[in-house]
Chain A
Amino acid sequence: MSKQPHIIVNNLTMAYGDFIIQQNLNFTVNEDDIFILMGGSGCGKSTLLRHLVGLKQPAKGTVFYRDTNFWQTNIQQRREIMRQNGILYQSGALWSSMTLAENISLPLAEYTDLTPAEIKELASLKLALVGLSGFEDYYPSEISGGMQKRAGLARAIALDPKILFFDEPSAGLDPISAKLLDDLILELRDSLGATIIMVTHELASIFAIGSNAVFLDTDSKTMIASGAPKTLLKECTDSTVQQFLTRGNTR
């Protein structure tokens, strides 16, 4: 099966006012990819993610979702596309005044015509998928950081999204939890058939699950490498990329 492009980024420039963060970004995310956005701290990875999910409008260039130019379509179609995205924010971003079950139920109640009982079943299922069954009535403040991440993931997959975005999913987790989260992401990708786009610094994750990547550079304000992380490690000659991928131990 040949891979279909899912998101195409063309000549994208990101800027806050006159301050350019990154420019001339060109890359394609294929279906079923686990696409990694890498780069040093402050190079604009999270900003790029915000552009991809439709939270920020690009200063220049286009973002295509399949055949649709995201910023050229009407609001309704844009919402339709955004609804098919599941996003896990850096700190979970669970709504703190709602229980975990309510957090997951809200999008379901908003976008489907399921009965409350069915929504409850689905919310329990999503929590079970991330290993949190029994925690339906807990508030986000009552559970640990790792559990909040997983609950955030449960909310992200509430509507069976086509694309899952992750903003540093394993930041702040111990190595074992991070590994379990990686496994969970892989399993969910395989069973839900979703495309995954991830911002991460975790080299272990990058090599373990990344199938494609771009590397953003702070100094030249553009992408300086793209490809599968393992190939990049072997073949990329750029010293910044090599240093990043080897934690500074350039061979």
Chain B
Amino acid sequence: MTKPPLKSNYKLVINNKDHIELQLSGDWVIGKLLPDLKNVVESLPDLHNSQPFSITGDMLGKWDSRLVSFILLLTEYLAKKNIKLNISTLPTGVQSLIQLATAVPLRKDAIKKHDSPSIVEQIGSKALDTFSEVEKFVNFMGETWLSFIRFFHGKARFRKQDFWLIVQQCGPEALPIITLISLLMGLILAFMGAIQLRLFGADIYVANLVAIGMSREMGAMMTAIIMAGRTGAAFAAKLGTMQVNEEIDAFKTMGIAAMDFLVLPRIFALILMMPILTLYSNVIGILGGLFVATGMMDISFVEYYLQTKQSITLVDWSTGIFKSTVYGLLIAVIGCMSGIQCGRNASAVGDATTQAVVRSIVIIIVTDAIFTLLFESMGI
């Protein structure tokens, strides 16, 4: 056996005036510089209908899919000119691969069209998407409401152990991170206030600032944002995965309403735990303020305590707690909704989780703004 030349090449031979023969030589493999089909085509003489055309590989060395791909493209080009390519002298492996590749014809209807919509169309479809999102949300809220009604009539059931497990997940297990964030929040508030208040000797009012700031706004808000990232995302991921695994369908076909069995316990758990966590967050935040006041300023523990006690009223505490309950409901509903409406593939779970967190945080802040205006106008 002679060693084949290593350089991959081809030679055009025209026999008996008419028969074109393309002689391949060398290695036609990935990693070699191969002749371009365009050059081959350009070097062809004028072709006429059903001209005999063959491709031979007596001098061919190694080959892989590159060769098959080349021959297929050439076949396609020649087919347009009504010429059939003769490959009967190529290695049998090449022949069977080509046969395999052409066995199932191209499904023209399968090819996707790439048309980029105009800007008007894009804006329009975005707007429609937004409307349908809102509609879905309203629908889901409605279903939740019906589920509530069923529950208070004693018709909706879920497992108690599920409920307590969720309570544990979104309550006690969130304490460490809530502690850290609230403490830092209190410290930051006190620091910022301290510098400004010192300018006109009103140092002691740092206690008012921290106490009112935490109890009315920051406690509920920070807890809500943490819970949106922690628990809302967990709800969406859990229900999304269940949707992918057809577990939710399994509930439905057994006549168990997914709303009652999966969504209700999550909503109840979060509505129950959010006020408690917020209360805890308020206390820890005020503690953070105390550290700054006693450590950095000339305020004693007792002074700070008395000032704090004097500055906040039950109304301040209640607004924070009330807000947190609403946030809890929103986070749970949005998390569960994103999960239940999740698509059927693995990447959809990721999308659902992201969506849950982003939507919850946006809605929390918007709701907070609305509440602030509302309380202001009501004089609370």
List, in ascending order, chain B residues with CB within 8 A of A138's CB. 110, 112
Chain A 113-125, CB-CB to B under 8 Å as 1, else 0, gives 1100010011011
Name 4 extra pairs, CB < 8 A, besides A126-B65, A136-B111: A125-B69, A128-B72, A134-B110, A160-B64
Q: How far is the CA of A122 from the CA of B108 in the complex (A)?
A: 19
Chain A 178-196, CB-CB to B under 8 Å as 1, else 0, gives 0000001001101111000
Q: Mind listing 27 A-B residue pairs with CB under 8 Å?
A: A97-B347, A112-B31, A118-B66, A118-B69, A121-B69, A122-B65, A122-B69, A125-B65, A125-B68, A125-B69, A125-B101, A128-B72, A128-B106, A131-B103, A132-B104, A134-B106, A135-B110, A137-B112, A140-B345, A141-B345, A160-B64, A187-B96, A188-B100, A190-B93, A191-B96, A191-B100, A192-B93
List, in ascending order, chain B residues with CB within 8 A of A125's CB. 65, 68-69, 72, 101
B30→A137 contact, CB < 8 A? no
**Whole-angstrom distance from the CB of B288 to the nearest CB of chain A?**
43
List, in ascending order, chain A residues with CB within 8 A of B73's CB. 121
Which B160-186 residues have a C-beta within 8 angstroms of A? none
Q: Is A96 close to B, CB under 8 A? A: yes
Q: How far is the CA of A137 from the CA of B110 in the complex (A)?
A: 9
List, in ascending order, chain B residues with CB within 8 A of A141's CB. 343-345, 347-348
Q: How far is the CA of A185 from the CA of B92 in the complex (A)?
A: 16
List, in ascending order, chain A residues with CB within 8 A of B65's CB. 122, 125-126, 157, 160
A133→B72 contact, CB < 8 A? no
How many residues from B make CB contacts under 8 Å with A?
Answer: 33
Chain A 82-98, CB-CB to B under 8 Å as 1, else 0, gives 00000000000000110
The one of A118, A128, A193 in contact with B93, judged by C-beta atoms closer than 8 angstroms, is: A193
Interface size, A (range):
20 to 34
**Whole-angstrom distance from the CB of A238 to the nearest CB of chain B?**
38
Instruction: Tell me what chain B mostly uses at the interface: helix, strand, loop, or mixed.
Output: helix
Q: Is B102 close to A, CB under 8 A? A: yes
Q: Is A81 close to B, CB under 8 A? A: no
Q: Is B346 close to A, CB under 8 A? A: yes
B343→A133 contact, CB < 8 A? no
Q: Is A129 close to B, CB under 8 A? A: yes
Q: Is B153 close to A, CB under 8 A? A: no
Q: How far is the CA of A127 from the CA of B65 in the complex (A)?
A: 12
Q: Is B97 close to A, CB under 8 A? A: yes
**Whole-angstrom distance from the CB of B359 to the nearest CB of chain A?**
21
Q: Is B17 close to A, CB under 8 A? A: no
Identify which of A97, A126, A133, A138 gathers the most chain B CB atoms within 10 Å of its CB.
A133
Tell me the nearest residue of chain A to B31, going by C-beta.
A112
B104→A96 contact, CB < 8 A? no
List, in ascending order, chain A residues with CB within 8 A of B101's CB. 125, 128-129, 133
List, in ascending order, chain B residues with CB within 8 A of A191's CB. 92-94, 96-97, 100
**Whole-angstrom distance from the CB of B32 to the nearest CB of chain A?**
10
Tell me the nearest residue of chain A to B111, going by C-beta.
A134
List, in ascending order, chain B residues with CB within 8 A of A140's CB. 345
Q: Is B107 close to A, CB under 8 A? A: yes
List, in ascending order, chain B residues with CB within 8 A of A160's CB. 30, 64-65
Q: How far is the CA of A136 from the CA of B108 in the complex (A)?
A: 12
Tell me the nearest residue of chain B to A124, going by C-beta.
B69
The 9 closest A-B pairs by CB, nearest first: A131-B104, A134-B110, A141-B345, A128-B101, A191-B93, A134-B107, A137-B112, A160-B64, A191-B96
List, in ascending order, chain B residues with CB within 8 A of A137's CB. 111-112, 114
**Whole-angstrom distance from the CB of A154 to the nearest CB of chain B?**
11
Identify which of B65, B72, B94 gathers the most chain A CB atoms within 10 Å of its CB.
B65
Q: How far is the CA of A128 from the CA of B345 in the complex (A)?
A: 25
**Whole-angstrom distance from the CB of B21 to the nearest CB of chain A?**
24
**Whole-angstrom distance from the CB of A247 to the nearest CB of chain B?**
28
Q: How far is the CA of A125 from the CA of B68 in the complex (A)?
A: 8
List, in ascending order, chain A residues with CB within 8 A of B93's CB. 190-193
Q: How far is the CA of A41 from the CA of B162 in the complex (A)?
A: 32
**Whole-angstrom distance from the CB of B18 to the nearest CB of chain A?**
30
List, in ascending order, chain B residues with CB within 8 A of A108's CB. 30
Q: How far is the CA of A218 from the CA of B220 in the complex (A)?
A: 56
List, in ascending order, chain A residues with CB within 8 A of B30's CB. 108, 112, 114, 159-160
Tell me the nearest residue of chain B to A138, going by C-beta.
B112
